[in-house]
Structures are given as structure tokens and as C-alpha cells.
Amino acid sequence: MSETLWDVERLTEATRQSVPMAAQTRVEVVEAERGRVVLRMPLEGNGNHIGTMYAGALFALCEFPGGTLFSTTFDASRYYPIVKGVDISFRKFAGTDITVEASMSEEEAARIAAAADEHGKADYDLVMELKDTDGNVVAISTNRYQMRSHGI
């Protein structure tokens, strides 16, 4: 993995400017490097009628890293990602701020880019574990993405 570090404040700002739900939920990029990102969402303002984080907020937290990881790993002038689907399971009540880490190996990134270069598009999955501040997994998701080449 490259050790290139990304400016997390700039990534947070870019996400919030392009997607109103990111601003509303106050999701934050807290770590970012090529192939690995960590995002956090505050419980406050993202709750439900029983005071835990609402399922829709947890969904957004599992989906935002797809774009962030893409930004740190691929050349956005050549490719763009779309989300095809998400299967999310809620395991425990989410009673604190929640974090999620997403990562992709150099080998997987190279495979996806090569497939997109050859076919114009390439499918890939990202598995996300959403954790509370005690490290408990409150939700797990499998996100189905497709990377596409611009202009194809």
C-alpha cells in the first residue's frame, strides 16, 4: 500500500457538499489513505424513537465509504463508481457514535481497474462492519458496486 495520506477535512467537506444527507448526518472522514478509509457518524441527531441510531443513518454510514475509498484508490478522471445494491443486517442496537472502516488491497484495485479498462465496467463488493465505541459490531453490510470507465 502507498503511504499517501489524504486530507480528511477536505474529503469530509467534499462528501457533505455533494450529498445533502452527508451534511445532515454530519458524517466525518477520520482516516484516509490509498486503499483504506475510516468514517464516523455521531449518534446525536441521527436517532430514532428509542434513542438508538436510525437504520437509515446506519445505511448511509455503510454506503458513504464506497465513494471515499474510490477517491483515495482510483483515478477519478478515468473511472466512476455506482452502487448497485446493499444487503445490510442490523445486529445490535447502536447506542453510541458509530465508525466504519473500508479497505481494498492493491491486488483487488488492480484487478478492478484492469477489468474496467477491458470491458468498460467492473463489479466489486465491499463488506462493511459498523462498530460502536466499545468495538461491538452493530451492523454488517455487503455493498455491490460497479466501476465504470468514463466515456464508454
Binding region for its own copies (CB under 8 A)? 18-21, 24-25, 45-49, 54-57, 59-60, 63-64, 82-90, 144
Which phi and psi (to 5°) does residue 35 adopt? 85, 0
Could you tell me the smallest distance in angstroms from the CB atom of residue 50 to its own copies? Answer: 9
**What angle do helix axes 55-73 and 8-18 make, rounded to 10 degrees?**
120
Cα angle 126, 129, 130 (rounded to 5 degrees) comes to: 125
Minimum CB separation of residue 18 from its own copies in Å reads 4
Of 3 and 51, CB closest to its own copies: 51
Which residues lie closer than 8 Å to 110 by C-beta, 6 or more apart? none
Query: Nearer Cβ to its own copies, position 75 or 107?
Result: 75
Q: How far is the CB of 107 from its own copies (least distance, A)?
A: 27
Least distance (Å) from its own copies to the CB of residue 117? 22
Separation CA 7–CA 5 (nearest Å): 7
C-alpha 144: how far from chain center: 12
Task: Choose between 6 and 59: whose C-beta lies nearer to its own copies.
Answer: 59
Nearer to its own copies, 90 or 111 (CB): 90
Locate cell 477520520: which residue? 30
* C-alpha cell belonging to residue 90: 442490523
